[in-house]
């Protein structure tokens, strides 16, 4: 008899694209994928941030390159992606949160959050998938969602709506892209201590409420999402598509 062998978590020879890759969860994803052997390209709007991140990665010996681009500019995204070898892995991490009471949400805030969290995720994924299908290559698309795509909370109406939309989009993408051997899943963190969450978590009352909901009794950090990202990108998750990987410290367990 022969023992089964664990599928590899390595990503050698793969190309990965990470949006919003200069900070927070996106930066963690880029570092994790590079450490696993992928050649990683990060994109973000600010050239200075890209340059600094790429230099820091170079100093750490990580294969990360960068390109300054606004992922809401789909023409620019299509031009960029059309000029490079298709990416095997996409992490849609670029995101926006504008939290306020439901009764006070403005159209401008609604549009800004939906445009980046949903529309950009949709069309960047579409362009990456088109390239993969055209080349006959398999792939893994990871949409950074949130526990707020499964539950919600105070002052989270727009953000939660955007993440519920990402969850539905991911399942629809998985159905259509499955025959092309392109997997699509969401990564759903709880509150991670990043620049995006700093303002909300700076409120002692809100921070206390958050900690009361997380069964492990602590906030997340960027390192907590790095292993899950590699798992979803690699052959270790080869039969997973249309799924949500909860990294929420038990928040949604009840």
Residue 232 buriedness (CB in 10 A; 0-12 / 13-18 / 19+): buried
**pLDDT score for 199:** 85
**pLDDT score for 101:** 97
Q: What is the mean pLDDT of each run of 10 residues along the chain (254 residues)?
A: 95 98 97 98 97 98 97 98 97 96 98 98 98 98 98 96 98 98 98 88 94 97 98 98 98 96
In the β-sheet with 139-144, what is the strand arrangement from edge to edge?
A: 64-68, 39-44, 15-19, 89-92, 139-144, 182-189, 244-247
**pLDDT score for 195:** 83
**pLDDT score for 150:** 98
- 159 carries an active-site annotation: yes
Q: Structural domains in the chain?
A: 15-244 (3.40.50.720)
Closest residue by Cα to residue 196 from 93, 104, 45, 91: 93
Query: Token pair of 149, please?
Result: 């795509």
- Reduce the DSSP state of residue 16 to 3 states and report it: strand
Spell out the alpha helix ranges (H) of the chain. Answer: 24-35, 47-59, 74-82, 107-114, 121-135, 157-177, 195-201, 204-213, 223-233
Q: Catalytic one among 159, 191, 231, 251?
A: 159
Closest residue by Cα to residue 221 from 251, 194, 201: 194
- Phi/psi for 185 (5° steps) reads -140, 165
* Direct distance between the N- and C-terminal alpha carbons of the chain, in angstroms, rounded to an integer: 43
- Reduce the DSSP state of residue 246 to 3 states and report it: strand
Instruction: Answer for the pair 89, 142: CB distance below 8 angstroms, yes or no.
Output: yes
Closest residue by Cα to residue 168 from 110, 118, 215, 105: 118
Q: Full-prediction pTM beyond 0.75?
A: yes
**pLDDT score for 108:** 98
């Amino acid at each position: 008899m022969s023992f089964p062998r664990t599928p590899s978590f390595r990503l050698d020879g793969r190309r990965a694209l990470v949006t919003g890759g200069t900070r927070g969860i996106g930066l963690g994803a880029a570092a994790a994928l590079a450490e696993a052997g992928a050649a990683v390209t990060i994109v973000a709007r600010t050239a200075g941030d890209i340059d600094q991140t790429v230099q820091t990665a170079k100093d750490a010996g990580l294969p990360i390159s960068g390109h300054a681009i606004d992922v809401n500019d789909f023409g620019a995204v299509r031009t960029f992606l059309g000029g490079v070898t298709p990416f095997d892995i996409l992490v849609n991490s670029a995101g926006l949160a504008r939290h306020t009471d439901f009764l006070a949400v403005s159209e401008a805030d609604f549009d800004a959050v939906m445009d980046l969290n949903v529309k950009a995720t949709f069309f960047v994924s579409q362009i990456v998938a088109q390239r993969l299908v055209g080349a006959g290559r398999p792939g893994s698309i990871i949409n950074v969602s949130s526990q707020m795509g499964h539950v919600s909370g105070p002052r989270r109406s727009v953000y939660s709506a955007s993440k519920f939309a990402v969850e539905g989009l991911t399942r629809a993408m998985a159905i259509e892209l499955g025959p092309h051997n392109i997997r699509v899943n969401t990564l759903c963190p709880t509150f991670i201590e990043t620049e995006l969450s700093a303002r909300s978590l700076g409120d002692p009352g809100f921070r206390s409420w958050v900690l009361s909901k997380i069964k492990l009794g602590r906030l997340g950090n960027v390192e907590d999402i790095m292993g899950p990202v590699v798992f979803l990108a690699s052959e270790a998750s080869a039969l997973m598509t249309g799924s949500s990987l909860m990294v929420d410290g038990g928040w949604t367990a009840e």
